[in-house]
Amino acid sequence: MQTKSISTQALQRLPMYLNYLKSLSNDKGTNISATAISEALSLNDVQVRKDLSAISGNGRPKVGYTKNTLIFDIEDFLGYHDNVDAVLAGAGNLGRALISYDGFNCYGLNIVAGFDTNNKIIGSEINGKMIFPMDKLNDLCNRMKIRIGIITVPAIEAQTVCDAMVENGIKAIWNFAPVTLSIQEGVLVRNEDMATSLAILSKHLTE
Amino acid sequence: MQTKSISTQALQRLPMYLNYLKSLSNDKGTNISATAISEALSLNDVQVRKDLSAISGNGRPKVGYTKNTLIFDIEDFLGYHDNVDAVLAGAGNLGRALISYDGFNCYGLNIVAGFDTNNKIIGSEINGKMIFPMDKLNDLCNRMKIRIGIITVPAIEAQTVCDAMVENGIKAIWNFAPVTLSIQEGVLVRNEDMATSLAILSKHLTE
């Protein structure tokens, strides 16, 4: 994985480029230009050019990029070729769904274990991943040097779980609980607020 | 469900208020003021006051809101007391996880059926919901007057599925495929881009 810094906006466009590139059939040629990508995705030409040159050194004037090399470079930049281990706290319905979802592997994310406070769930296995009691978080995170934590506990418990994760070396938190977490500098929280998404969709139907 | 119009920003704050209110134990009193909520959530006092007065007529000067009434009013505004039927297209790993997730019921969303193109999946049942072939989308959406569609197909198929949904009366689309969908006016798309979330989290670890 490269460590060049790009803006969050640019980062959000990269998966879009990647999907477009992967959707192109091979008989459409092996090269692709930033202009062609920008036109297909209705994006600004200059912006696409800048995004791509920041993450790949393989563009050539008048020729563009070799498609497969560009796909590799984007995936590499996004960390899809690395495997990052993560833990998940809260093995309720949503947590179990995420642990069961094998698609994260394509993006380099590997959920190694789940944690819960419910004795009925602790000790069980979901998709081959063990569910441990919360007080084992410390041990496992430190031993396996886990850096990513996924929070799927109820809103009221989320801050406590977040604090425990950060205390044990977690640097990036994927939060599915509908709360704003307080965190110290250096830790990144990415909120995935399904309740809000649903509220916005539902409201639209009544407007 | 009320039909008052508030900004998307305000709408995004409502689930936050709701969670805070629900987290308060009953021995802390039955009333709550906008000021107390804004302080607890580190939000602007005036903003909270405005948000709440837009969705609830039950606030009283010096007294504030009756907590349980405010909880009801927010839930009502967000449509949690209604049941909106939805269909899901793409019963792969993520689609199956979402169909299996019962938590959406709390938010008034009811996934009635799934659709897929894979003959091995068609005809099977997930969490009591049938998986139909894509060409039955038309019939079911019209017969059940479905207004919400969830897209969990691969990126390359998402636009075709989106078009089929809109053609059959879907007005709000929850899109989990990492593509920008083209839609006609009057249809709302809410993107839930897990790949981008993961990329942003992974990048943070290398910075």
pLDDT of residue B138: 94
Does B108 contact A198 at a Cβ distance shorter than 8 Å? Answer: yes
Could you tell me which of B88, B83, B41 has the C-alpha nearest to residue A178? B41
pLDDT of residue A81: 85
- State pLDDT tens for residues B87-141: 999 998 788 888 887 778 878 899 999 999 999 999 999 989 999 999 999 999 9
Q: Is B155 on the interface with A (CB under 8 A)?
A: yes
Please report residues of A whose CB lies closer than 8 A to that of B78: 199, 202-203
pLDDT of residue B198: 82
Q: Which of residues 82-101 of B touch A (CB under 8 A)?
A: 82, 84, 92-94, 96-98, 100-101
Does A109 contact B198 at a Cβ distance shorter than 8 Å? Answer: yes
3-state helix, strand, coil in chain B (%, to 5): 50, 20, 35
- State pLDDT tens for residues B56-91: 998 998 889 999 999 999 999 988 888 899 999 999
Mean pLDDT value of segment A92-105: 82
CA distances, B56 to each of A122, A184, B12, B38, B60 (Å): 41, 35, 16, 16, 11
CA atoms B98, B100, B104, B105: torsion sign? positive
Could you tell me which of B15, B19, B6, B53 has the C-alpha nearest to residue B34? B53
Could you tell me which of B74, B8, B109 has the C-alpha nearest to residue A207? B8
Please report residues of A whose CB lies closer than 8 A to that of B21: none
Q: Is B24 on the interface with A (CB under 8 A)?
A: no
What is the ipTM metric for this complex? 0.76
- Among A109, A193, A199, select the one facing B78 at the smallest CB separation: A199
- State pLDDT tens for residues B5-54: 788 788 888 888 988 898 787 777 899 999 999 998 888 999 999 999 99
* CA–CA distance, B198 with B94 (Å, rounded to integer): 15
Q: Exposed, middle or buried: residue B145 (CB in 10 Å: 0-12, 13-18, 19+)? A: exposed
Question: Cα distance from A181 to chain B (closest Cα, Å)?
Answer: 10
Mean pLDDT value of segment A129-134: 96
Label residue B3 by pLDDT band (50, 70, 90): very low
Please report residues of A whose CB lies closer than 8 A to that of B1: 202, 206
- In this model, does residue A35 exceed pLDDT 80? yes
pLDDT of residue A3: 46
Q: Is B199 on the interface with A (CB under 8 A)?
A: yes
Give the contacts of B17 (CB within 8 A, at least 6 positions apart).
Answer: B37, B41, B48, B51, B52, B70, B74
Mean pLDDT value of segment A91-115: 86
Could you tell me which of A100, A50, A51 has the C-alpha nearest to residue A78? A51
CA atoms A95, A96, A100, A101: torsion sign? negative
* CA–CA distance, B2 with B77 (Å, rounded to integer): 5
Mean pLDDT value of segment A113-137: 95
Helix (H, G, I), strand (E, B) or coil at A176: coil
Question: Cα distance from B77 to chain A (closest Cα, Å)?
Answer: 8
Label residue A2 by pLDDT band (50, 70, 90): very low
Does B205 contact A84 at a Cβ distance shorter than 8 Å? Answer: yes
- In this model, does residue A36 exceed pLDDT 80? yes
Could you tell me which of B164, B169, B195, B201 has the C-alpha nearest to residue B181? B164
Name the closest residue on chain A to residue B11, using Cα atoms.
A200
Please report residues of B whose CB lies closer than 8 A to that of A103: 92-94
| Helix H or strand E encompassing B52 | helix B45-55
Does B101 contact A82 at a Cβ distance shorter than 8 Å? Answer: no
> What pTM was computed for the model?
0.73
Q: Which residue has the tokens 């959707």?
A: A23
Does B93 contact A102 at a Cβ distance shorter than 8 Å? Answer: yes
Say which amino acid occupies B38. Answer: S
Does A178 contact B205 at a Cβ distance shorter than 8 Å? Answer: no
